Amino acid sequence: MSRERLVSPELISKEEEGFNRTLRPASINEYVGQKKVVEKLTIALQAAKQRGESLEHVLFHGPPGLGKTTLAYIIANAMGSKITTTSGPALERTGDLMGILTNLGEGDILFVDEIHRLPPNIEEFLYPAMEDYKVDFVVDKGMFAKTINVPLKRFTLVGATTRAGNLSAPLRNRFGLFYHLEFYTVEELRNIIQRSAGILRAQLDEAGGTEIAHRARGTPRIANRLLRRVRDFADVKADGKIDQQVAKDALKLEGVDEQGLDDLDRNFLSTIIRTYNGGPVGVEALAATLNEEVETLVDMVEPYLLQQQYVSRTSRGRVANEAAFRHLNLPFPAVGPRTLFD
């Protein structure tokens, strides 16, 4: 079964989405991290404004929770444009998209989250809209069918995806600007946490912010979520003051350890090591042993463990690396899992 996790990079509730909106920076100068993306996007925005043109279509790709939606709103603010938001799974019929496109004004932003999940008929309907700013809409059926050519105002499509490889080549080729978002450093996350604490009027010192940042798995969304939990703990247990020890105590209570791993992460590593002798083991077997869905392990657990080199994916299955043994305080065997590749 899937579960809500404190360290999940995905949004876990509508309430959290509204909360994050209050913390979202409004301008690119306030945006922390992603220096290369910010520099290139700043140039593209300034050039478009100087020429009095709408921005080229933009595709943001990278793991969830890194700021793709935030950057879409920053683009809208920078261009002085209205932004309309939707998602790939929400667009099922061409009529749904037709209504959105015809209501866009000159230079407006259409933000499509999870754009890799657009149905094929919607994707094909988008091609002439992106390329020629017009759509062909078919009315009636059979011998009475007529095609109406509908002109559109020049707009900017901003797409966001966690799986750029799942985008079709025709759709991908219609984007002019591509930006890959990477995980954040501890220093960048600490700056984000301190900024959020200021907005929330939380009493946070630098050591407390650093402690939270270390456990935020390189992801601002997780950092802000952890800050909320630590703030609640501090309000009840520490007169609202968040220092390093308060942050440690709060996150220990939540089951988030020094490296940002939670119970599911540790169980995942422990199962590979204890049950399957360090691997290799197939993800289906791991899912059955842990009583979790394969998608949960692949999409929500493995990415961070792979990035931190706790596990490796091989053609024969998942293998626990030495870092996983060390993290669980287990001896790394002299003849370890790697000999299984020989």
Q: Which residues are known to be catalytic?
A: 68-69, 113, 162, 221
Q: How buried is 282 (Cβ within 10 angstroms: 0-12 exposed, 13-18 middle, 19+ buried)?
A: middle
Fill in the amino acid letter for 329.
Answer: N
- Say which DSSP state 176 is in: S
For residue 224, how many other CB atoms are within 10 A of its CB?
25
| Parallel/antiparallel/unpaired status of strands 134-139 and 177-180 | unpaired
Assign 261 to helix, strand or coil: coil
- Indicate left, alpha or beta for 112 from its phi (over 0: left) and psi (-120 to 50: alpha): beta
CB 212 within 8 A of CB 231: no
Q: Which helix (H) or strand (E) holds 27?
A: none
CA 172-176-180 angle, 5° bins: 70
